[in-house]
Amino acid sequence: MSTDARAEAGVLVPRFGSRGKAWVGLLAVLVLVGLGAWIYQLQQGLAVTGMDNVFSWGLYIMLFVFFIGLSAGGLIISSAPKFFHSKRYDSLAALGVLLSLGCIVVAGLLILPDLGRPSRITGFLTSPDFRSPMVWDFAIVVLYGLFSAGYLWLLTRRDLAKMGSRLAFGVEDTPEGRERDRKRAFWAAAVAIPLAIALHSVTGWIFATQIGRGDWFNPLVAPMFIMKALVSGLALLLVTAILADRLTRFRLPEALVPELGKVLGVFVAVHVVYLVAAERLPHAWAAHFDFWSITSAFLVGDTVHFWLWTVVGGAIPIALLAVPSLRRNVGAVFAASVAAIVGILFEGVYLVFTGYTDLNIDAAPGVTTGTDYTGFGADIWATAGSYTPTVVELAVTVGIVALGALLVTLGLRFLPLQPGGGAPVGAGGDRTAPDADPAVADGGRETDADAGADRRE
The whole-number pLDDT of residue 262 equals 93
Q: Is the pLDDT of residue 393 over 90?
A: yes
Least confident residue range of 53-67, 161-175, 273-287, 312-326: 273-287
Q: What mean pLDDT do residues 288-292 have?
A: 56
Q: What mean pLDDT do residues 21-45 have?
A: 95
| Predicted confidence band of residue 435 (pLDDT cuts 50, 70, 90) | very low
φ, ψ (nearest 5 deg) of residue 426: -70, 165
| Predicted confidence band of residue 283 (pLDDT cuts 50, 70, 90) | low
The percent of residues above 70 in pLDDT, for the chain, comes to: 77
- What pTM was estimated for this model as a whole? 0.82
The whole-number pLDDT of residue 294 equals 55
The whole-number pLDDT of residue 362 equals 62
Q: Is the pLDDT of residue 64 over 90?
A: yes
Mapped to the 3 state alphabet, what secondary structure does the chain carry? CCHHHHHHHCECCCCCCHHHHHHHHHHHHHHHHHHHHHHHHHHHCHHHCCCCCCCCCCHHHHHHHHHHHHHHHHHHHHHHHHHCCCCCCHHHHHHHHHHHHHHHHHHHHHHHHHHCCHHHHHHHHHCCCCCCHHHHHHHHHHHHHHHHHHHHHHHHHHHHHHCCCHHHCCCCCCHHHHHHHHHHHHHHHHHHHHHHHHHHHHHHHHHHCCCCCCCCCCCCHHHHHHHHHHHHHHHHHHHHHHHHHHHCCCCCCCCHHHHHHHHHHHHHHHHHHHHHHHHHHHHHHHHCCCHHHHHHHHHCCCCHHHHHHHHHHHHHHHHHHHCHHHHCCHHHHHHHHHHHHHHHHHHHHHHHHHHHCECCCCCCCCEECCCCCCCCCCCCEECECCCCCCHHHHHHHHHHHHHHHHHHHHHHHHCECCCCCCCCECCCCCECCCCCCCECCCCCECCHHHHHHHHHC
Give 297-307 pLDDT, tens digit per residue.
Answer: 555 556 677 77
Q: Is the pLDDT of residue 410 over 70?
A: yes
Q: Is residue 224 a contact partner of residue 231, using CB atoms and an 8 Å limit?
A: no
The whole-number pLDDT of residue 124 equals 78
| Predicted confidence band of residue 443 (pLDDT cuts 50, 70, 90) | very low
More confident residue, 215 or 142: 142
Question: Exposed (0-12), middle (13-18) or buried (19+): which is 25, by Cβ within 10 Å?
Answer: exposed
Q: Is the pLDDT of residue 372 over 60?
A: no
